C-alpha cells in the first residue's frame, strides 16, 4: 500500500494587488460605515460583513501572522 501523505499541493497564488480577494460583490455595501481598524468610512465589508478597508484588513493579518510566528518561536503557542 502506498501513501500519498508526503505530497502536498502548492498554496493558491494570491490575487492581484494583495493577499485578500474582495472581488465578490458580497464585499460591497452602499452604506459607508467606519472601518473597524481605522474608523474612516468604507463601503467594503470583510467576510463577516464588518466594515473594513482591504489595506487595513491585510495589515491586521500581517500583524497577527507576525505575533503567531513570535509565539511559536518563543514556545508560548
- In the block, cell 503567531 appears at 68
Write down the domain spans for the chain: 25-74
At residue 35, the pLDDT reads 98
Cβ(23)–Cβ(15) below 8 Å: yes
Helix (H, G, I), strand (E, B) or coil at 75: coil
Per-residue pLDDT of the chain (77 residues; tens, 9 = 90+): 555 566 667 656 656 666 778 888 999 999 999 999 999 999 999 988 999 999 999 899 889 888 998 888 887 76
At residue 28, the pLDDT reads 94
3-state SS, 6-63, equals CCCCCCCCCCCCCCCCCCCHHHEEEEEEECCCCCCEEEEECCCCCECCHHHHHHHHHH
Backbone φ and ψ of 56, nearest 5°: -65, -45
Amino acid at each position: 500500500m502506498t501513501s500519498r501523505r508526503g505530497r502536498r499541493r502548492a498554496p493558491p497564488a494570491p490575487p492581484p494587488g494583495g493577499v485578500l480577494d474582495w472581488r465578490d460583490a458580497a464585499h460591497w455595501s452602499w452604506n459607508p460605515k467606519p472601518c473597524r481598524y481605522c474608523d474612516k468610512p468604507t463601503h467594503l465589508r470583510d467576510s463577516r460583513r464588518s466594515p473594513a478597508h482591504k489595506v487595513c484588513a491585510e495589515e491586521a493579518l500581517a500583524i497577527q501572522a507576525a505575533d503567531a510566528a513570535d509565539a511559536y518561536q518563543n514556545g508560548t503557542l
